[in-house]
């Protein structure tokens, strides 16, 4: 019987040793594969912050893999010894506590020792925490909550930029369509307006002045190099001050969207500033006379305010700046360029006639008013139909 038990005990020890050896062999194989495929192993260890951990301990030697491996293995060996030591101490202490706690006297003695040690430590900890709290100490959770509260106030509070921005949009949403349009325009005086309009139209123009009449109507003003000349004639010959100028009537519609976002802030904003060009009711596409689809004649002196729009605004760029590529504008510029140079040539012909000095001075003064700012440019590109928009067919 003893022989059988000895045999079975040896067999069990053999199986245990075999399992232990198999686990060690498997670990060795994994280690060899990890070293062999270091290009795959390194990113994994780096993502797990293991490389950074060893580097902070000073175990990584650049360019010396052998020294690095030796240092790491030595560290792991020492760590294993320390862990085994603490486990042994914990085991002995646990056995000691079990022996003491098995009797009533031992339990009372153990409770007395624990309370004697823990109560002073607890009092010191609470006192230290209270003092630190009085001096502004906060836990990580409290700091995180305080930081979030400050961020929320700065971002969504009444003094935040976002709140002010929404308030501005709310004020914009209450503006009339024309006032909203003028908010993105620069006001011009009449002399500055005349100077700006004193140019020859070129196909593809994008910058147009705006005018508001006394009855509140809005117009896109066409460039007119004859405006200064006609105005001078009106003043000198005491006409009825009816100086016509071509313009495009338009209306503005402000579509407002109101909603709340995730921060529970009411958002007021113009969803779109819709600018609609009005068509000429007298337009007849089959007429032999020049009939514009959009352009109408208005009296320059009926305009009370002049504006230069911000062409970078999407709606202004889409609705107003694009007029320079319409067929109406092409027809207008052909007619205006021809009239300008014809009038100038007509005055120049007077200078070659036998006229008095007073008449000569008068014609010279009239010619000074025909000084379109881009006259030289138009002369240079006058032979380029594509640029001027002239159709030579």
Q: What is the pLDDT of residues 282-302, one digit of tens each?
A: 666 555 556 678 889 999 889
Average confidence (pLDDT) over 150-168: 60
Check pLDDT > 70 for residue 230. Answer: yes
pLDDT band at 208 (very low <50, low <70, confident <90, very high): very high
What share of the chain has pLDDT > 90, as a percent?
12
pLDDT band at 164 (very low <50, low <70, confident <90, very high): low
What share of the chain has pLDDT > 70, as a percent?
62
pLDDT band at 270 (very low <50, low <70, confident <90, very high): very low
Q: How far is CA 197 from CA 135, 232, 281, 363, in A?
A: 70, 15, 26, 22
Residues forming a β-bridge with 244: 299
**pLDDT value of residue 294:** 87
State the DSSP H helix or E strand holding residue 244, giving kind and residue range, or none if neither.
Answer: strand 244-260
Residues forming a β-bridge with 306: 188, 211
**pLDDT value of residue 231:** 74
CA-CA distance, 224 to 200, in Å (whole number)?
6
Q: What is the DSSP letter of 278?
A: P
Structural contact between residues 379 and 345, judged by C-beta atoms closer than 8 angstroms: no
- The tokens for 363 are 């014609």
Phi, psi of 141 (to 5 degrees): -65, -45
Closest residue by Cα to residue 220 from 250, 196, 242: 250
Lowest-pLDDT range of 64-78, 96-110, 307-321, 356-370: 96-110
136: left (phi over 0), alpha (psi -120 to 50) or beta: left
CA-CA distance, 237 to 37, in Å (whole number)?
99
92-146: pLDDT as tens digits: 877 777 776 666 766 677 677 777 777 887 887 777 767 766 666 556 666 666 6
Average confidence (pLDDT) over 174-181: 72
Q: Comparing 88 with 27, which gets the higher pLDDT?
A: 88
Check pLDDT > 50 for residue 392. Answer: no
Q: Comparing 16 with 128, which gets the higher pLDDT?
A: 128
CA-CA distance, 43 to 45, in Å (whole number)?
6
Structural contact between residues 350 and 363, judged by C-beta atoms closer than 8 angstroms: yes
Out of 40-54, 75-89, 209-223, give the one with best mean pLDDT.
Answer: 209-223
What DSSP assignment string belongs to 330-382? HHHHHHHHHHHHHHHHHHHHHHTS---HHHHHHHHHHHHH---TTHHHHHHTT
**pLDDT value of residue 266:** 47
309-354: pLDDT as tens digits: 988 887 788 888 889 999 889 999 999 999 888 888 888 887 777 7
**pLDDT value of residue 393:** 41
Cβ count near 77 (within 10 Å): 10
What DSSP assignment string belongs to 179-234? HHHHHTEEEE-HHHHHHHH-S---TT----EEEEETTS-EEEEPP-TTHHHHHHHH
Taking all residues of the chain, what is their mean pLDDT, rounded to a whole number? 75
Task: Find all residues with CB under 8 Å of 46, minimum gap 6, and list them.
Answer: 52
Structural contact between residues 157 and 163, judged by C-beta atoms closer than 8 angstroms: yes
Q: What is the DSSP letter of 322?
A: G
The domain ranges of the chain are: 1-36, 47-102, 177-388
CA-CA distance, 274 to 225, in Å (whole number)?
30
Cβ count near 368 (within 10 Å): 11
28-57: pLDDT as tens digits: 677 677 666 767 777 777 777 777 777 777
Looking up tokens 């016509």, which residue turns up? Answer: 244
Q: What is the DSSP letter of 269?
A: E
Task: Find all residues with CB under 8 Å of 270, minimum gap 6, and list them.
Answer: 169, 172, 173, 180, 254, 255, 256, 257
Cβ count near 294 (within 10 Å): 21
Check pLDDT > 90 for residue 219. Answer: yes
pLDDT band at 268 (very low <50, low <70, confident <90, very high): very low
pLDDT band at 257 (very low <50, low <70, confident <90, very high): low
179-189: pLDDT as tens digits: 777 778 899 99
Looking up tokens 């009444």, which residue turns up? Answer: 158
Residues forming a β-bridge with 297: 246
């Amino acid at each position: 019987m003893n022989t059988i038990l000895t045999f079975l005990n040896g067999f069990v020890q053999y199986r245990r040793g075999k399992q232990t050896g198999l686990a060690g062999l498997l670990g060795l194989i994994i280690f060899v594969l990890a070293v062999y495929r270091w290009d795959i192993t390194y990113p994994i260890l780096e993502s797990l912050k293991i490389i950074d951990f060893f580097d902070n301990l000073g175990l990584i030697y650049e360019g010396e893999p052998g020294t690095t491996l030796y240092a790491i293995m030595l560290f792991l060996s020492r760590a294993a010894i320390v862990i085994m030591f603490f486990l042994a101490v914990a085991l002995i202490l646990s056995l000691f506590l079990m022996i003491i706690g098995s009797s009533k006297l031992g339990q009372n003695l153990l409770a007395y020792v624990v309370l004697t040690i823990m109560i002073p430590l607890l009092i010191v900890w609470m006192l230290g925490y209270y003092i630190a709290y009085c001096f502004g100490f906060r836990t990580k959770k409290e700091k995180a909550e305080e930081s979030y509260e400050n961020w929320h106030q700065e971002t969504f509070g009444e003094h935040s930029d976002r709140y002010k921005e929404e308030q501005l949009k709310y004020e914009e949403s209450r503006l009339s369509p024309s006032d909203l349009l003028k908010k993105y325009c620069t006001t011009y005086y009449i002399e500055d307006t005349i100077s700006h309009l004193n140019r020859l139209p070129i196909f593809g123009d994008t910058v147009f002045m705006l005018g508001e009449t006394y009855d509140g109507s809005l117009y896109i003003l066409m460039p007119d190099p004859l405006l200064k000349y006609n105005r001078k004639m009106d003043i000198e010959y005491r006409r009825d001050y009816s100086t016509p100028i071509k313009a495009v009537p338009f209306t503005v519609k402000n579509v407002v969207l109101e909603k709340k976002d995730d921060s529970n802030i009411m958002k007021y904003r113009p969803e779109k500033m819709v600018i609609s060009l009005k068509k000429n009711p007298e337009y007849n596409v089959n007429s032999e006379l020049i009939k514009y689809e959009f352009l109408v004649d208005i009296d320059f002196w009926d305009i009370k305010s002049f504006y230069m729009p911000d062409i970078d605004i999407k709606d202004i760029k889409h609705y107003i700046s694009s007029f320079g590529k319409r067929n109406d504008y092409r027809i207008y510029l052909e007619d205006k360029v021809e009239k300008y140079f014809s009038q100038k040539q007509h005055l120049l012909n007077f200078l070659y006639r036998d006229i008095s000095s007073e008449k000569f001075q008068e014609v010279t003064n009239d010619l000074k008013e025909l000084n379109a700012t881009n006259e030289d440019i138009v002369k240079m590109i006058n032979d380029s139909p594509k640029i001027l928009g002239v159709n030579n067919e």
